[in-house]
Structure 1
Amino acid sequence: MKLRCAVLDDFQEVATRIADWSPVADRVEVAGFSDHLTDEDELADRLAGFDIVVTLRERVPFPASLLDRLPRLKLLVASGMRNSVIDHAAAEKHGVTVCGTASSSTPPVELTWALILGLARNVVAESTALREGGPWQSTVGADLAGRRLGLLGLGKIGSRVAGIGRAFGMEVSAWSQNLTAERAAEAGVELAPSKEELLRTSDVVSVHLALGERTRGLLGAAELALLKPDAYLVNTSRAAIVDQDALIDALRRGAFAGAGLDVFDVEPLPADHPLRTAPRLLATPHLGYVSQANYRTYYGEAVEDIRAFLDGAPVRVLGA
């Protein structure tokens, strides 16, 4: 009898088409789900009959309380090589192997710049007006050359965003709790003396930090108040780094020029969420890692993980 594998959050229904599942087809039956469940009871009911689960990024938490209710589960595959919403100790207790996959920093870098450029040149508003017979040229775009890009975080993604900023002729500065002047210089950017100074002096602020206790709520009402009236804020990292209520309030008041978001406190975003109607907002439904190349990697390596597990030699095993 074949093992059963559930692929969660396959919103585009591409998981079984974008990768070759034939290496495990004789041993595994795959079922994809294009909806997103947040209720733990519903998740437990759905997954009770599966031996393997493939989950994308950190969209679905697997706490001990859920793993306790999945006695049949033996393998959990998550895209990426880090996952903070899986209780690894509970997985080990229940004999569940957790494996990851590689991921590329290119798609989120590209989406960051799509948001920055979309905001600066009012692309959505102008395109909508053109298509709907509205006024011809109703906005004046903001120039990027000669302006300052401020990066909160200068890791793998932040460094590449910085390089593109320099290519556009922008001055680039960066700040994070552990960033040194030497590391900033290696990336060709200035080290901002403080978070506050970066916010006060930047024309575009882009967030590229991992979410943790030190970064949760890093940008609250007081920090957002430091932004220039004509500045833009972009967050493609984690929603909780920016206080969502403070952000919505600032957008409604026109405290700064606008925001570009790809991450939200609840995903998918509920139909009545205030961000859906917030002014001065360019938003995308967490597309940062959604690209053909990345999906081929995610699902292709998920197949490799499954095959290796079935052969008794798991690869890319994740721990706490």
Structure 2
Amino acid sequence: MSTLHGYTIFNKASRYKNIVYSLLCSLFVFVGSALGYYLGINYLFFIVLFLAPFFYYQFYNIDSSLDMSIKYFMIFYIIGATLNKASFDGLVIGLLIGTFITLAFCYSMSKREKISLFQIKKYISLKRDKLNYNLIYQSLIYSIGLVLCVLVSRAINVDHFFWAPLTFIFVLNPKLTNIIKLTRDRVIGTLIVVFVLYLSFNTAVLMPYIGFALILLFSFLIPISNNKKNNVFGTFCITGLVLSLIEMSIYFNNVDYHLLSERIMETLIGGLFAIVCSYCIKSLMKRSTVKTHSKN
């Protein structure tokens, strides 16, 4: 997971490189997982979860690395809240090792222009120097959908309930164009990969070899998917890698583990909430556009 988020955060900044900035963005992941672990599942947890999308929307589309770091903050925040001490300690060690190695490798191999932190700060300040009030209502819909997604998935009462909100976060983003189509394509890609993983991980005679093979396959496909404009394929690759890594870590703690059928249901829950929220956001945007034209 640390390799994935480190690679994604670094490579989202396609025109420049700064190792310190990439590390600072990756720090959001550590903060998210630690905050989730120390808060646990209580009212403070839900307050932070409710507020996070407001920052996500305000800083969206300013810098791609920053976008991804906030998205991973929310994901690891939810995951951290489900962990015990031993699992959390292992997560932190894994994050440290994977993040530093991945960023160091990517930085050394990249031919992009190196820029200073001051230049990045100036660029971000120029693009967002004040609050965008038009995004508040959209982020409110996102927040309500995310919190409800967590509550419903917890009500199912299965372990690792984070699959539903993880699906929600991965498939729904603040992209203002084609939001319904984008969300629908990502839900389709997620459902396809969940069925593939469900069948693969429940083939006991092939475990753990098939798990490692899937991790290698998805890792190979992700760079290819970055150059494609197919949202279904892109979601299939990145979600497949994330879920494969999570499920393999669970498998090694219990070799009799089988991927639960509830995972499919949780994916449907997360996808359904994402689609409903995308319709609500689209309707809100249309009404706002109509009001603007009527005033003019």
Same fold by TM-score greater than 0.5: no
TM-score scaled by structure 1? 0.19
Query: TM-score, normalization: structure 2?
Result: 0.20
Which is bigger in relative contact order (C-alpha 8 A, separation at least 6)? 2
Q: Which has the higher strand share?
A: 1
